[in-house]
Amino acid sequence: MQNNKDKQIVHLKEMFKEHLAIPFPQVTLNGELQGIRGEISLYGGHVAGLVTSYLNSAPINPDYVKVDAELEERIKNFKPGNSQEKKDIAVLMEYKHKLDSLLLLLSTLL
């Protein structure tokens, strides 16, 4: 069982390294899109803090290791006004899902 956990930790490290190499999404100057981008930025900081804490053997409250369902709904409910906004919201959703994947893997390790 420990061998599987070790593999998961290695996978978490790899995923986190890949995440850190991804540029943060840029979006058009739509106020609502900028607000969603800001929320994703906060969520990303939260996820990075949790993963870093875990990898440094710091205690983590499992209650904080949860996917942000409200942010997911806000992204899903955004009504793009043009094709660029449609692309932007898709990029933001993809970025959020990568953060979610990190959290979900982390939750299996706690």
The domain spans of the chain are 2-109
* Alpha-carbon gap, residue 9 to 11, rounded angstroms: 5
What per-residue confidence (pLDDT) applies to 41? Answer: 97
Q: Which DSSP letter does residue 22 get? A: S
pTM metric for this prediction: 0.93
What per-residue confidence (pLDDT) applies to 30? Answer: 82
> Above 70 in pLDDT, residue 76?
yes
Please write the tens of the pLDDT for every residue from 27-41: 887 889 999 999 999
